[in-house]
Amino acid sequence: MNWNIVVSTFVAVFLAELGDKTQISTMMLASSKKAPVSVFVGSAIALVLSSLIGVLVGDTLCRVVPAHVIRIAAGAGFIVIGALTILGKI
């Protein structure tokens, strides 16, 4: 286990998740359902499973597509999403 990668991944994901739609949805569910432990368990399982899918797809993708192509495609995707957000389409 490479602890440098564990720590850098934790920091990146933790900071990316702060204040995003998922966290806001989780806060709303916790306040409306009056069952914070159940909401925590459900949201934790969902985050773990979505992370697992990301790792599996990313690992498989890097075996087929060169890393620089993945970086370019990811950057272009973020630019498109940002532009659509600015334009109010998302």
Report pLDDT digits (tens) over 27-83.
999 999 989 999 999 999 999 999 999 999 999 999 999 999 999 999 999 999 999
Write the DSSP assignment of 15-67 as a string of letters: HHHTTSHHHHHHHHHHHHHS-HHHHHHHHHHHHHHHHHHHHHHHHHHHHHS-H
Report field, pTM of the whole predicted structure over 0.85:
no
Q: Which residue has the tokens 């359902």?
A: 33
Beta carbons of 39 and 33 less than 8 angstroms apart: yes
**Alpha-carbon torsion (77, 80, 86, 90), positive or negative:** negative
| pLDDT tens digits for range 8-17 | 999 998 888 8
Number of structural domains in the chain: 1
Q: What is the domain extent for residue 14? A: 3-86
